[in-house]
Structure 1
């Protein structure tokens, strides 16, 4: 039941890593290996938003240091 979610632009993902608690990102672009994202909500203790980050697609799964999908406009 651990189906890999297809990462697509406009999805919003939350960081599961305890060190980045509270951080959310929006996917802007995707290639074969990476998702290029904009930080929407900073991790606790930070105020930095709007910057771009690159995340390996294989990390975008619900593990302790991965990510979980919280919004997918293409599924509406």
Structure 2
């Protein structure tokens, strides 16, 4: 079984929804039930760059799992 990290500040996750191609989100903060994320693009060095004009979104923490309606872990996080 693959070990999936708990959602944490600084992580990048990819939306698994097939209607949205390559949507990456960066976790800015978390609370008990939700993460506040911002849609980003990655530089060639793998650094997240916020997309202009895209608002922040709150996502339930239980959606951060690799299902068709969830998110898959890409990289990052605070150590």
**TM-score clears 0.5:** yes
CA RMSD of superposed structures (Å): 2.1
Aligned residue in 2 for 1:66: 70
- When the two structures are aligned, how many residues end up with a matched partner? 70
- Unpaired runs of 5+ residues, structure 2, are 42-50
What TM-score comes out, normalization by structure 2 length? Answer: 0.75
Structure 1's 25 and 57: CA in aligned 2 closer, same or farther, altered over 3 A? same
CA–CA distance in structure 2, aligned partners of residues 24 and 65 of structure 1: 14
CA–CA distance in structure 1, aligned partners of residues 52 and 16 of structure 2: 18
Cα deviation, residue 4, structure 1:
4.8
> Which is richer in helix?
1
- Unpaired runs of 5+ residues, structure 1, are 42-46
Cα deviation, residue 39, structure 1:
0.8
SS, match of residue 18 in structure 1 = coil
What TM-score comes out, normalization by structure 1 length? Answer: 0.77
CA–CA distance in structure 1, aligned partners of residues 39 and 53 of structure 2: 5
